């Protein structure tokens, strides 16, 4: 069978990356990997989850194991609405849709807004999973200046040249994946201005927002927009939250917070796609969130902060001339810029072979595959001794060129 003859055009945009192939080698025990960007499994609140599953299955197995509503488990939506209010986003449970991880939120938002040829504004670099989600809807990508300074006219002209309309700007303002960088308050305000001028939506990906290690918290874009407009129902920002980095990614529980009009449309989409996210997982996340969330996140912050500090100190010690890196205030990533002529993918191939150290080459995070001379390091799931050793190995691999 010639499957290509029956595949939809969108499949041409959905390719396995070479990097994924390379990263399959990571199973070897002698490799020190900074590639993952995943939570440290030793920090999962496993005991709290065991108790919560036990309770859900004992007290209410009929609900826990049954189909449930597409919007999500109401007590959890209420708890999330309370948390959103705490960070400057007053809203109701009706403003929250539970999704199967925030990855599903990105897929739904792409499906909601992008017709083939429309333009999505994304960072250069940006989260590669967002590109993966949006690619299926066959968009054109244009460059979003995270400082909010690119003129609207310029962006509109670029989109029209591709025969589509600009539909949304996608970004993470806190400790972005892959750069670790934070968007300051003035730039957040300028991004709202830009979205208003272009009359487009903003997708605010807050996957790492709770993991701040120092500096003052800055209100989310959605909070700043509510401060302008007085009411979430008048806002164009769609906020994507997740329990993956705070509780556990294996549960697949995330959410979208936004105006009811949009949530209503997304509920229809969820009905069509998977009916609802796992009932029992939503129930246990609700129980665990209400009992251990705040102290648990405190503990994560302390551990990851120490690892970040350790990685920054090791980079200062070990990196040769001509290498620079970001100093994230939170999250899981440091973005390293290599000497100008050096390619991150070539460096990975060499580093795996000679030094047994892994990371993600930067090119994967660019919509146009440009800018090969950067790499992403994650400090979240490597202990301090391995960070020292791994960064020393990386320094040697770079020095060798
Ligand atoms: N957004 C960003 C920026 C991420 O880094 C990730 C996970 N790596 C996600 C969204 C998706 O996470 P999840 O689906 O587990 O919520």
pLDDT digits (tens, 9 = 90+) for 204-251: 999 999 999 999 999 999 999 999 999 999 999 999 999 999 999 999
Q: What does the pLDDT read at residue 237?
A: 98
Distances (CA, A) of 297 to 130, 167, 179, 246, 289: 25, 34, 22, 6, 10
Q: Among the CATH numbers 3.30.70.1340, 3.40.640.10, 3.20.20.140, 3.30.70.260, which is that of 46-292?
A: 3.40.640.10
- What is the token pair recorded at 90? 């007053």
Contact partners, residue 86, CB within 8 Å, separation at least 6: none
In the chain, which residues have pLDDT < 70? 17-23
Predicted local distance difference test score (pLDDT) of residue 401: 82
pLDDT, one tens digit per residue, over 287-322 is: 999 999 999 999 999 999 999 999 999 999 999 999
CATH class belonging to 10-45+294-400: alpha beta
Q: Is 242 in the pocket of ligand 1 (CB under 6 A)?
A: yes
Output the CA 154–ligand 1 centroid distance in Å: 30
Residue 189 has a pLDDT of: 98
The pLDDT, as a whole number, for residue 18 is: 64
Residues of the chain with CATH 3.40.640.10: 46-292
Residue 95 token pair:
């403003």
The tokens describing 161, both together, are 């040249």
CA distance 309 to 277: 37
Q: What is the pLDDT of residue 83?
A: 98
CA of 170 to the centre of ligand 1 (A): 13
The pair of structure tokens assigned to 187 is 């730039």
pLDDT at 181: 97
Whose CA is closest to atom 4 on ligand 1?
207
* E strands in 102-219: 119-122, 140-143, 166-171, 201-205
First to last CA, the chain: 46
Query: For a substitution probing ligand 1, which of 35, 38, 99, 103 has the most ligand atoms within 8 Å of its CB?
Result: 103
**pTM, entire model:** 0.97
Predicted pLDDT of residue 202: 98
Ligand 1 contacts CB of residue 99 (under 6 A): no
The pLDDT value given to residue 29: 84
Atom number, ligand 1, closest to the C-alpha of residue 177: 3
């Amino acid at each position: 069978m010639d499957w290509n003859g029956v595949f939809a055009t969108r499949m041409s945009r959905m390719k396995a990356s070479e990097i994924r192939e390379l990263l399959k080698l990571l199973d070897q025990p002698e490799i020190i990997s900074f590639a993952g960007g995943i939570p440290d499994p030793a920090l999962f609140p496993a005991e709290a989850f065991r108790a919560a599953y036990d309770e859900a299955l004992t007290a209410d197995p009929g609900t826990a194991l049954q189909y449930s509503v597409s919007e999500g488990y109401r007590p959890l939506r209420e708890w999330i609405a309370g948390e959103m209010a705490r960070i400057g986003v007053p809203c109701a449970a009706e403003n929250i849709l539970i999704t199967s991880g925030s990855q599903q939120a990105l897929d739904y938002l792409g499906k909601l807004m992008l017709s083939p040829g429309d333009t999505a504004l994304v960072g250069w670099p940006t989260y590669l999973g967002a590109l993966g989600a949006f690619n299926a809807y066959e968009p054109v990508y244009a460059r979003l200046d995270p400082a909010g300074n690119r003129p609207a006219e310029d962006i509109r002209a670029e989109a029209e040249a591709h025969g589509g309309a600009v539909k949304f700007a996608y970004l993470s303002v806190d400790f972005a994946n892959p750069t670790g960088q934070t968007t300051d308050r003035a730039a957040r305000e300028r991004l709202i201005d830009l979205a208003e001028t272009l009359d487009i939506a903003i997708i605010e990906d807050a996957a790492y927002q709770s993991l701040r290690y120092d500096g003052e918290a800055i209100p989310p874009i959605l909070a700043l927009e509510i401060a302008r407009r007085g009411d979430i129902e008048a806002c164009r920002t769609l906020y994507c939250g997740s329990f993956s980095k705070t509780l556990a990614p294996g549960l697949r529980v995330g959410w979208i917070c936004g105006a009811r009009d949009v949530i209503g449309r997304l509920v229809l989409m969820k009905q069509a796609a998977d009916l609802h996210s796992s009932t029992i997982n939503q129930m246990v996340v609700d129980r665990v969130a209400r009992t251990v969330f705040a102290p648990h996140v405190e503990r994560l912050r302390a551990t990851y902060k120490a690892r970040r500090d350790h990685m920054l100190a090791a980079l200062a010690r070990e990196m040769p001339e001509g290498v620079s890196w970001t100093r994230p205030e939170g999250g899981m990533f440091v973005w390293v810029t290599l000497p100008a002529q050096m390619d991150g993918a070539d460096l990975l191939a060499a580093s795996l072979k000679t030094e047994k150290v892994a990371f993600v080459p930067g090119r994967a995070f660019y919509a146009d595959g440009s800018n090969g001379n950067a790499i992403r390091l994650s400090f979240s799931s490597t202990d301090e001794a391995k960070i020292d050793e791994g960064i020393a190995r990386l320094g040697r691999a770079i020095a060798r060129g």
